[in-house]
Structure 1
């Protein structure tokens, strides 16, 4: 059963149908009167009135759903809380200050210690005080572990309403032709759906009857401004951080966390959380009262380009571990805890388990790209009390390529489960599949029948899967991980633009070509080696297919092997002929790229050296000017003093009786000259020393830049030589 929300379009269609039936009643009544049967349809006018009234009420509800406008009091009431701020608006501010002081005192505590302190504090508050605190600071209260979950639900509902109002106003300023219109509208529609009720079907424990009711959606985490912005041109808003609960979290016997993979954001959250509704609902379509599922989008998921980078898995894993420890104070002490992780989310979960998330009963990995290069078996987690399961549906290329390590579905010590009916990367939660059935059996503790298993190989599941895995392994051996990460980052903007419709395939291929050249891909993976590997793998694939085709027709092994070998040889020869021109074109491209990079190296080196020379000239000019000024002051002063001495001596010659007085003056002048020398000579010496240091430092920079440029140029010259030789003789 899929999740069901109260949908305004559906209500409009139902209202239209009721109006149609109401409008038909007068005609029916007239026909009945003509047949003298008017007495039998006397109740039709009352039915018409009821139909019309119901249609109007449905349209009223549809309009409310289209543009929810809810006060904080309404949000509090939705989760059984009184309007706590009505009597004393200042009460919330005082409580907010107390809570922040508590958090400051607990800043060095563990997530569980912090959450327990918060829980103890809220236990001292009345429901009205809790409501007042939620209304005063909904962002803090709604995302704080330890707060009673109904208070968090109410606080986050207020935040959702505020965000919806702001983003709907922004959407109103956009035209459908604007680049940001489509994703912004999807985001606004999603926020609106968060405020709308959902339809819950369950077995009433009092009557045993199947019952359907409308209930508010429950958000345990909501921060619309969290994370990076996936594509600023498509939407100016960050990806967001959200967690939705289905079920009674505080009283559930079994609790599950669902951890998503790449490209999950606020605007497409409903697509992710749908799996949580599927998981908590049994095969008869009834939600189980003893379970609760948390669809946790609590980390900044990668987009396509940076999905090759494990960085967000480390931060996401730490966040998942902290969330698990913090929320534990709100769960039943003996509640079971399972994790169901998909795609990149399996890497996040792996990092969380390695960071200390040990209090977990079952972990299920689905469509995993790998759990990190250091995890090659369940034993590597050192968690003997936790059961580990893995699923890999036929055609799941994310698992086949093993972008982040060994696929857990191939661990010898893991329990691999069947996914019957599911295929590809995104059907694990689809109804009526073995994947969903097995997840429910794990989650419900065995209810619904025994687990079903599989041991299929890559060849059993998908033609070419084994060859694709080997090809990726070949490339990993040629390209360092840091270069892969940089390439992914460089390509992300172009990939985003392509999927948003701003860039066509041709321009995307041009950008890919540019990035490959930037990172020297044809030097790291020479074209002849690349296509040689492709030819080998294609030959292997041809052998397998021909061998199997012969076996299917009843041929003995020897004949089937001969057929396979013939197909392999034919495939390799055919591919060699067809790929040879491509290899030569790529080798020409490699030569051109290397020549361009050689020129870039020389230009960059010349610019860098020129900058150092300019800086040295500027600094030496300053030092020289200072030396000149100090020397000028000294020589000018000494020249003046010397002149005065000559005058005093001349005066003594003319007037000998003043010899004593003149001698005293000469002595004073000599003392002044000495002072000038002692004052200026150190300045001149310092200026000369500064000039020497400038020459040495900048000269060293020039020498280093020249050496680096020369080294890079020599290396690139070797690449050019190799690529030319390969083109001529290869």
Structure 2
């Protein structure tokens, strides 16, 4: 017994060392997860303009929110969005077109606020430079289809590629570490960012598929203790579940594609058939569950390529370290699909790879086109 515990402890420590060595340690104090209702919720709850209580963010479910907005004339819906853009833009259950409108207003308001900070000569130049960078980022996001925009912390957003109402199917991408409002489409990783993944998948699948790049939780920075524990995943999992609750009345159940640390978020979200037709894990360090059957929806896992550093992370879970079973192991019970042609941890969405072709086929429900990988 003591020997087994020793091996588990060693494995847990090795997981942290392997992850840390792959990309450098994150800050010692870790990331503070952004949770709870969106900014401006207090003013929203206090708003009596309509003469009736507004759904309380953080408590009202997506179905309750949807029913409330369905009972309002469009003019009143837009008026609420104008008065409370950050709430309406992030409130699951609000009609998606109204969320686009609200988030466009929220972006403009946050840009103007940051420009004001940047122009304040009494502030240190470091603070003014940071404000200019944020203002430029908000300007760059203008005109994009955002189902969520939260400027708190490192920033979160959910961007839609395609038409949610007209597409036959929808896929939602849940990214891993180092994904936030400032980095979702960095040019240095064209197929490893949420935006790059979404664009590549949509280009492969065509207009029949709408794709949502959901960066709606606080991700680990670099790879260190935050990445080696499920703390941030547990904070983000309910946010993913609520987001899907607000999405599926328009799209129907979606395919959820989870990359790296995002696989832990997906596995802890408690997704069911009403939300997801299936879940696909890519570059997973472990999914914090013992078997695919625990996830209640069909599960696929993309074969790790030989250059993916995540393969060096031991699949253990001990004293809160590690993410447990390898989803690619036969005993886990997921269906393993081919990734021929992919390179590295961020290469599974690269054009021309078997992994991208398989992701498109699964997302479109064309399972007869999926190429499975041999058992190893």
Whole-angstrom distance in 1 between the partners of 2:341 and 2:139 = 33
Residue pairs, 1:706-725, within 5 angstroms: none
The residue that corresponds to 1:689 in the other structure is: none
The residue that corresponds to 2:277 in the other structure is: 361
- Alpha-carbon shift at residue 183 of structure 1 (Å): 6.4
- Alpha-carbon shift at residue 393 of structure 1 (Å): 2.2
- The runs of 5 or more residues in structure 2 that have no matched partner are 1-43, 186-192, 316-321
Whole-angstrom distance in 1 between the partners of 2:273 and 2:156 = 20
Cα shift readout 1:619-646 (whole Å, capped 9, x = no counterpart)? xxxxxxxxxxxxxxxxxxxxxxxxxxxx
Whole-angstrom distance in 1 between the partners of 2:91 and 2:52 = 11
Distance 1:358 1:281, change over 3 A: same
Whether 1:370 aligns to 2:286 is yes
The residue that corresponds to 1:295 in the other structure is: 213
- From 45, 50, 53, give the equivalent of 1:101: 53
Residue pairs, 1:483-632, within 5 angstroms: none
Residue pairs, 1:405-424, within 5 angstroms: 405-412=324-331, 413-424=333-344
- From 380, 384, 397, give the equivalent of 2:294: 380
The residue that corresponds to 2:307 in the other structure is: 395
- From 136, 145, 164, give the equivalent of 2:83: 136
- Alpha-carbon shift at residue 314 of structure 1 (Å): 0.7
- From 217, 226, 240, give the equivalent of 2:155: 240
Cα shift readout 1:91-134 (whole Å, capped 9, x = no counterpart)? x9997644971414x9765x2xxx22322332233322222121
Whole-angstrom distance in 2 between the partners of 1:325 and 1:99 = 27
- From 118, 126, 143, give the equivalent of 2:65: 118
Whole-angstrom distance in 2 between the partners of 1:181 and 1:118 = 38
- From 349, 356, 360, give the equivalent of 2:266: 349
Whole-angstrom distance in 1 between the partners of 2:159 and 2:86 = 15
Cα shift readout 1:178-225 (whole Å, capped 9, x = no counterpart)? 666876655443322111xxxxxxxxxxxxxxxxxxxx4110011102
The residue that corresponds to 2:369 in the other structure is: 450
Structure holding more helix per residue:
1
The residue that corresponds to 1:272 in the other structure is: 194
Cα shift readout 1:15-61 (whole Å, capped 9, x = no counterpart)? xxxxxxxxxxxxxxxxxxxxxxxxxxxxxxxxxxxxxxxxxxxxxxx
Partner SS for 1:151: helix
Larger Rg: 1
Distance 1:119 1:388, change over 3 A: same
Partner SS for 1:191: helix
Whole-angstrom distance in 1 between the partners of 2:46 and 2:236 = 34
- Alpha-carbon shift at residue 163 of structure 1 (Å): 1.3
- Alpha-carbon shift at residue 172 of structure 1 (Å): 5.4
Distance 1:95 1:182, change over 3 A: closer
Distance 1:99 1:377, change over 3 A: farther
Residue pairs, 1:141-220, within 5 angstroms: 141-171=88-118, 187-195=134-142, 216-220=143-147
Partner SS for 2:53: helix
- Alpha-carbon shift at residue 428 of structure 1 (Å): 1.4
8 Å Cα contact 1:364-1:391 kept in structure 2: no
Distance 1:357 1:189, change over 3 A: farther
Distance 1:182 1:440, change over 3 A: farther
- Alpha-carbon shift at residue 419 of structure 1 (Å): 1.3
Whole-angstrom distance in 2 between the partners of 1:440 and 1:134 = 35
Whole-angstrom distance in 2 between the partners of 1:291 and 1:96 = 40
- The runs of 5 or more residues in structure 1 that have no matched partner are 1-91, 196-215, 226-237, 458-730
Distance 1:95 1:179, change over 3 A: closer
- Alpha-carbon shift at residue 326 of structure 1 (Å): 3.0
The CA RMSD over aligned residues, in Å, is 3.0
Tell me the TM-score normalised to structure 1 length.
0.40
- From 255, 266, 270, give the equivalent of 2:170: 255
Whole-angstrom distance in 1 between the partners of 2:373 and 2:78 = 51
8 Å Cα contact 2:204-2:357 kept in structure 1: no
Partner SS for 1:416: strand
Whether 1:317 aligns to 2:276 is no
Whole-angstrom distance in 2 between the partners of 1:325 and 1:299 = 16
Whole-angstrom distance in 1 between the partners of 2:51 and 2:211 = 28
8 Å Cα contact 1:186-1:268 kept in structure 2: no
**Number of residues paired by the alignment?**
314
Whole-angstrom distance in 1 between the partners of 2:243 and 2:52 = 19
